[in-house]
Structure 1
Amino acid sequence: MKLLIKQRVFSWTDTYDVYDENGNPKYLVKNEMFSLVHRIHVTNMNGREIGRIIQNFTLFVPKFDVEIGGRPFGTIEKKFTLFYPKYELNYNGWRCEGDFLAWDYDVYSGCSAVVHISKELFHWGDTYVIDIADPKDEIMALMLAIAIDAANCSNN
C-alpha cells in the first residue's frame, strides 16, 4: 500500500496533507505555530489525533519522541554523518538507511524491507511517497516519514 504526503506551500506552519494511493485525503499533519522545536500533530480527516511527534532539544543532532494513540511509541534520532543520512531508531524494532542525497529511505525489520520512503522532485513543497509492505504498519510508517522530514529540516 502507498501513502502520498504533500506539503502545503502557503501555510503559516509546516502543514501536510496525506492521501491514500487512490488520491483520497486520509490524514492531516500540522506543526504547532509558535514552538521553538517541532511539535507535530497527526489527525485523521475527522480531526481525531492519532499521533504526535515532539522534538527533544539537543544541540547537534535532532531527536524526536513519537506518540501513537496517546502513548509513547519510540524515538528517532538523526546521527551526524558526512555522506549518508543515518538514523538511530528505538521504534518498532526497525532500522533505517538513507541514500546520499537524503531523498530515499529503506526501513527494515530484521532482514526484511517493510517501508520505502522516497522524496518526489519538482513539486511545490516537499512531497513524499511511502510504500508500506504491510497495511498494519501504516501509522508507524507515516509517523517515521514525518519525523525524518522534521529531522532533515532541523539540520538545515
Structure 2
Amino acid sequence: MKLYIRAKRFSMRETLIVRNEKDDPIYEIKSEWLSFGRKVHIYDQNNEEAASIEEKKLGFKPQYGIYQLDTKVAEVKKDEKMMGSDFEINKINWRITGDVEDNEFKIKENLRTIAELKKKWFSVGESFVLEVGEEENSVVALAIVIAIWCLKEDEAEEEK
C-alpha cells in the first residue's frame, strides 16, 4: 500500500491530505495546539479518528504518544545517542533506519520492513510516498512519520 502526502512546505499547522495510489483522499491530518503541547488527529475517509498523536513534555525534550481508540500504541521521541537513528519508537518493537533528516527512512521490526518513507521527486512542493507492507500497519506507520515531523519541527522552532 502506498500513501502519498503533499505539502507546499511542511508545517503541522496546516491540514494535510493523504491519498492512495488512485489519488483518492484516504486520510486527513489536522493539528491543534493545547495549552501544554500539540495534538494531531488522523481522520479516515468517513471523518472518523483513526489515530491521534499527542505531545508530552517530560523535562526539556518533547515526545509524542500515538493513540488508537484512546489506547497508547506507540511513543516516539528524539534519541540522544551518537550512533544509529536519531529517533526512538517505544511500546512496539519497531525502529527507524535511514536518513530521517532527509525524509528517506524505513520503519522496521527486526529484519522486516514495516514501512518506507521516500521523497517523491518531480512534484510540485514537497511530496512524500509512504509505502506500507501490510495495510493494517498503515495508520500507525503514518502516525510515526507525523510524530517524527512534529519532533523535527519542534527542534527547528527551538533553534530560532
CA contact (8 A) 1:2 1:129 kept: yes
Structure 1 CA distance for aligned equivalents of residues 97 and 90 of structure 2: 14
Amino acid at match of 1:155: E
- What is the deviation of 1:132? 0.7
CA RMSD of aligned residues (A): 2.6
Matched-pair contact (CA < 8 Å) for 1:56–1:63: yes
Could you tell me whether the CA contact under 8 Å between 1:74 and 1:91 is conserved in 2? Answer: yes
| Equivalence for 1:73 | 73
In structure 2, give the amino acid aligned to 1:151: L
* Maintained 8 Å contact 2:51/2:140: no
SS of the residue corresponding to residue 61 of structure 2 reads coil
May I ask how many residue pairs the two structures share in their alignment? 154
| Counterpart amino acid of residue 41 in structure 2 | H
Runs of 4+ in 1 over 6 A off after TM superposition: none
Matches within 5 A, 1:75-94: 75-80=75-80, 85-94=85-94
Alpha-carbon distance in 2 for matches of 1:112, 1:85? 17
Instruction: Work out whether residues 18 and 27 of structure 2, in 8 Å CA contact, stay in contact via their aligned partners in 1.
Output: yes
Q: Given the superposition, is the C-alpha separation of residues 21 and 90 from structure 1 closer, same or farther in structure 2, using an over 3 Å criterion?
A: same
Which deviations, in whole Å up to 9, do the C-alpha atoms of 1:19-41 show, x marking residues without a partner?
A: 01111000110001565522101
Alpha-carbon contact 1:62-1:155 (below 8 Å) kept: no
**Counterpart Cα distance in 1 of 2:18 and 2:12:** 18
Q: 2: distance between equivalents of 1:66 and 1:53?
A: 5
- 2:124 is aligned with 1:128: no
TM-score with structure 1 length normalisation?
0.84
Q: Deviations over 1:54-108 (max 9, x none)?
A: 0111454331001012211121111236787521111431111231743211111
Give the fraction of aligned pairs with identical amino acids, expressed as a percent.
Answer: 21
Contact residue 87 and residue 97 of structure 1 kept, 8 A: no
Aligned-partner Cα distance in 2 for 1:152–1:81: 16
Equivalent residue, structure 2, for 1:144: 144
Distance 2:112 2:12 in 1: 39
After superposition, the C-alpha distances for 1:117-137 in whole angstroms (9 at most, x for unaligned) are: 12346643x432101111221
CA distance in 2, matches of 1:8, 1:47: 23
Q: Cα distance, 1:155 vs. partner?
A: 1.0
**CA distance in structure 1 between the aligned counterparts of 2:139 and 2:147, rounded to whole angstroms:** 12
Match for 2:95: what amino acid?
Answer: R
- Once the two structures are TM-superposed, the CA of residue 14 in structure 1 deviates from its matched residue by 2.8
Contact 2:12 2:150 in 1 (8 A): no
Q: Distance in 1 between matches of 2:34 and 2:48?
A: 22
Q: Provide closer, same or farther for how the CA distance between residues 147 and 69 of structure 1 changes in structure 2, counting only shifts above 3 A.
A: same
